Amino acid sequence: MLIKKPSDISPSEITPRETYRDRRRFMQQMAGLGLGGVLMGATGTAVAGYGGKPLNFTPSTKYRVDEKPTPYEDVTTYNNFYEFGTDKASPARRAHTLEPRPWSVVVEGACAKPGRYDLEEILKPHPLEERIYRFRCVEGWSMVIPWVGFPLGDMLKRFEPTAAAKYVVFETLYDPEQFPNQRGRVLDWPYLEGLRMDEAMHPLSLMVVGLYGEVLPNQNGAPMRLMVPWKYGFKSIKSIAKIRFVEEMPTSTWMRANSREYGFYSNVNPRVDHPRWSQQSERRIGEWGRRKTLMFNGYGDEVAHLYSGMDLRKFF
């Protein structure tokens, strides 16, 4: 299966910085009023221009790149979600079929606390924070997105992985009624991705439940998705319904579809070209022209030690 290289789109108007600051202050004030829980209730007021339910979160002072966020409209209408279609517009157009509540996640494999966990049970112990990360797609486009979530490692520790757990595998929900493209053979469903345990436990790895301060839209992977900012976007699996701790390196969906083009690690590496195009530059959505791609997507100081001594051309 080949990924199509996207054509240019007209950039949307950038959200004014002042508007975004006002929006953040609004949500912090709401949290200060004692509105408990991760989500505000049904009577919570969404900020004009977005439409989702606001989340209670704390802006991270450590994990936020000093770059202009990609417009909300682009983030929510231009993305890959093959369960809804192979073009960038299909997810936003077709994702209304997804029902993100109620939701549960099955945990299994090499851990002391396997089982089926309700989403609220997973979320409750974890304070949410906003992190502004770069996002780089293997197809050559990129974004800067204000994600809301919590450290993946904090969640995984609760399941008490054993010493046999060398990797962690994630699966998207398999339900052709909710994901109409799963009725076809575009990919081998369900979508599966994995990380080495030290990658998963790294503080940059984020379990995401929102963006731009609001509940994660269906087309962006509701109700929870992964975000590993130093890897290409297809590693950050959406609509997670199963987590499995394993001893052997798993074969991910894109490895199975085309192992020559998509390796397990999938670190952003401008020195290793995709077989069909260069990875040395990228097109930032909402900007004209192209910019130089950074090693590990600019997170090398934090993660390069994870791959010390490895041939990153072989382990791509």
In angstroms, the Cα distances linking 47 to 16, 52, 60 are 14, 8, 21
How far is 282 from 190, CA to CA, in rounded Å?
Answer: 29
Alpha-carbon 92 to chain mean position: 16
The dihedral built from the CA positions of residue 59, 64, 67 and 70, taken in this order, carries a sign that is negative
* Dihedral angle sign, alpha carbons of residues 153, 159, 161, 162: positive
The residues facing 292 across adjacent strands are: 281
The residues, any chain, with a CB within 8 Å of residue 186's CB and separated by 6 or more, are: 1, 82, 86
What is the rounded distance in angstroms from the CA atom of residue 21 to the CA atom of residue 270? 34
SS3 267: strand
Question: 200: phi > 0 → left, psi -120 to 50 → alpha, else beta; which?
Answer: alpha
Q: What pLDDT sits at residue 52?
A: 78
CA atoms within 13 A on the CB side of 260: 5
Q: Would you call 152 helix, strand, or coil by DSSP? A: helix
Q: What is the pLDDT of residue 280?
A: 97
Dihedral sign, Cα of residue 255, residue 258, residue 260, residue 262 = negative
Which residue type occupies 120? Answer: E
- Residue 226 CA to chain centroid, in angstroms? 4
Q: Which domains does the chain have, with CATH numbers?
A: 58-307 (3.90.420.10)
CA atoms within a 13 Å half-sphere pointing along the CA-CB vector of 197: 17
Residue 30: CB atoms within 10 A of its CB come to: 16
pTM, two decimal places: 0.85
Residue whose entry in the numeric block shows the structure tokens 């977005």: 50
Q: Which residue has the tokens 């919570």?
A: 44
Q: What burial class does residue 163 get, using C-beta atoms within 10 Å of its C-beta: 0-12 exposed, 13-18 middle, 19+ buried? A: exposed
The pLDDT score that the predictor gives to residue 2 is 36
Q: What is the pLDDT along the chain (316 residues), one digit of tens a residue?
A: 333 333 333 333 334 434 444 444 444 433 333 333 444 332 222 332 355 799 999 999 999 999 999 999 999 999 999 999 999 999 999 999 999 999 999 999 999 999 999 999 999 999 999 999 999 999 999 999 999 999 999 999 999 999 999 999 999 999 999 999 999 999 999 999 999 999 999 999 999 999 999 999 999 999 999 999 999 999 999 999 999 999 999 999 999 999 999 999 999 999 999 999 999 999 999 999 999 999 999 999 999 999 999 999 999 9
Rounded Cα distance, 110 and 132, in Å: 33
Residue with tokens 């401008």: 270
